[in-house]
Structure 1
Amino acid sequence: MNTHLINNTLALLRQVERHATTSEQFDALKASRTLLYFILGRGEAGEFKDYFERFDTAPVRPLLSFATQEEAETWLRNHPAAPHGATIRAAKDLYTVVDARALNHRKLLRQLSLEELGLTDEEVGQEPADESEPPKPNPGERFSLFGLYERTCYDLYQMEKHVTSPEELEAIRAAKISFNFVMHEGEEYGVEDYLESIRSAKSTPPRKSFTTRAEADTWLATQPEPPPPVVVAIGNELYAAGHNRRRGLRLLIRLPTPPELDTGAP
């Protein structure tokens, strides 16, 4: 597993931190680190590297492909933890997977083609001209990975204006693309559960404690699919029970320590 890109990005974001002047900018750095640790903990550092290197150059690649829409509908209906927000292909069309788990409702939304949208290839991927600050979430508002992505990108951009180091600029780009990667994988709910595990670990003891990873993996194999979002300890480290929605795999994802996530915000 090639972890150099993620580890190097994490180190460089510590240097970018000196350009942060607001609590929102420190929050953006913390959110970026969290996403990178989420990808790293899932064992997808190599896949992220490939995604990063072809970003902006390769065409949209669906997460999964099906011969017919009926096959895709059957897959979605029977999936224990559908990849909410991911793009799949059914026959010749692309669809967005919608899993409104609060409403226990799933569907496939067909994506309009460039011709239907009236766009040219040159217009696709252009940065929006509007640089206005996105709205802050209201207390109790439902988690949205895309909303977190918008706010994080805005605050990273404010810092980016003062960065001259090519390496730090590339780290900021990698931080932004980490959100695209996780959304491409359809892991909005995985990130939501991971964030909740990080929060609960600060005040609640782990549900289970194990001496070795093998013991923890044996326990995880007995859990339902997907496993509930609980925190367990393996030796001195904490892990969140998770699920790879694309591959249908149960996971144990290491939780970063407070020093790994915290910024120098006052």
Structure 2
Amino acid sequence: MNPDFIKMTLTLLHEVDRHATNSDQVDALDACNATLYFIQGRGETGEFKAFVENFDTAPVTPLLSFTTKAEADTWLREHPAPPHGALIRAANDFYTVVDVRALHLRKLLRLPSPEEVTQTDEAREEAEQEAEEVPEPPRPSSSAKFSLFKLYDRTCYDLHQMEKRMSSPEEFEAIRAAKISFNFVMREGEEYGFEEYLESLRSARTAPPLASFATREEADSWLATQPEPPPPAVVSIGNELYSVGYNRRRKMRLLIRIPTQRELDTRAP
């Protein structure tokens, strides 16, 4: 796996910026940058590259598989922070993990099998007609509840407007990888983790870090004393800032480096 895959994609997205004609398109590129840094900071560059390469051909695979539904229910009940939105398999059925923290609600939402999904010719034609129209999705509101899918939907729309003015195959490939980065985060069931990371980007600019360390070893020792999952926070190691996160799939505490504003801003020279 190429460890520089995300780095190269980020570099190309800075080139794509010249095709942006309004603030919405710049915001879309900024969202892509943040998503890619989130994946990179979690040490998943190799997994992401493979995901991109096989995105159009690979069969749908669950994040986890269980022999019985009872085993899946036990896993969900005992997990400190289940991966909201992830796809799992129990026996012969697929389920979406639902973890609504505000309502203290956890459940496995069964997905219908292909045989159960039927559609009349008339309904299919209506769906195809709606897909061709592609109405402009609403802009994310700062006061609205965070939705990774809505951010993804709006970002794809704005990226598509830029693609109309592009001709470079390399830039098209970078846009494709940027779009798929949202799919990767959703597939990993890390909507909440990404939301917390975005919040850390904002708080890093407005508040001092929770704690400061001279070395990574000191920071890792401190992180090991935190609860599981640890509360979102920003800490500093030397001159760099890190977001305190949690890998819900592997049940691991994380320190994810926060890029500088210059790195995040696609319009930086």
Is residue 106 of structure 1 aligned with residue 85 of structure 2?
no
Is residue 217 of structure 1 aligned with residue 240 of structure 2?
no
Equivalent AA in structure 2 for residue 97 of structure 1: V
Is residue 194 of structure 1 aligned with residue 194 of structure 2?
no
Q: Is the contact made by 1:76 and 1:82 (CA closer than 8 Å) also made in structure 2?
A: yes
SS for the counterpart of 1:114 is coil
C-alpha displacement of 1:102: 1.0
Is residue 263 of structure 1 aligned with residue 269 of structure 2?
no
C-alpha displacement of 1:243: 0.5
* CA distance, structure 1, for counterparts of residue 39 and residue 131 of structure 2: 27
C-alpha displacement of 1:128: 3.4
2:13 alignment counterpart: 13
Aligned ranges for residues 145-184 of structure 1 at < 5 Å?
A: 145-184=148-187
C-alpha displacement of 1:30: 0.1
Aligned ranges for residues 1-266 of structure 1 at < 5 Å?
A: 2-118=2-118, 128-264=131-267
C-alpha displacement of 1:56: 1.2
Q: Is the contact made by 2:95 and 2:111 (CA closer than 8 Å) also made in structure 1?
A: yes
Number of residue equivalences: 260
The unaligned stretches of length 5 or more in structure 2 are none
After superposition, the CA RMSD in angstroms is: 1.6
Report percent identity of matched pairs. Answer: 67
Bigger Cα displacement from structure 2, 215-224 vs 137-146:
137-146
Question: CA deviation digits over 1:181-235, x for unaligned, max 9?
Answer: 0000000000000000000010100011011111100000000000110000001
SS for the counterpart of 1:218 is helix
The unaligned stretches of length 5 or more in structure 1 are none
4+ residue runs of structure 1 moved beyond 4 angstroms? Answer: none
* CA distance, structure 1, for counterparts of residue 3 and residue 118 of structure 2: 40
CA gap of 1:139–1:238, structure 2 versus 1, over 3 A, is closer
C-alpha displacement of 1:262: 1.4
Q: Is the contact made by 1:3 and 1:40 (CA closer than 8 Å) also made in structure 2?
A: no
* CA distance, structure 1, for counterparts of residue 196 and residue 142 of structure 2: 18
Equivalent AA in structure 1 for residue 184 of structure 2: F
C-alpha displacement of 1:139: 4.3
SS for the counterpart of 1:129 is helix
Q: Is the contact made by 2:193 and 2:246 (CA closer than 8 Å) also made in structure 1?
A: yes
Q: Is the contact made by 2:14 and 2:267 (CA closer than 8 Å) also made in structure 1?
A: no
CA gap of 1:166–1:239, structure 2 versus 1, over 3 A, is same
* CA distance, structure 2, for counterparts of residue 207 and residue 139 of structure 1: 24
Q: TM-score, normalised by structure 1?
A: 0.95
Q: Is the contact made by 1:20 and 1:26 (CA closer than 8 Å) also made in structure 2?
A: yes
SS for the counterpart of 2:95 is strand
* CA distance, structure 1, for counterparts of residue 75 and residue 132 of structure 2: 39
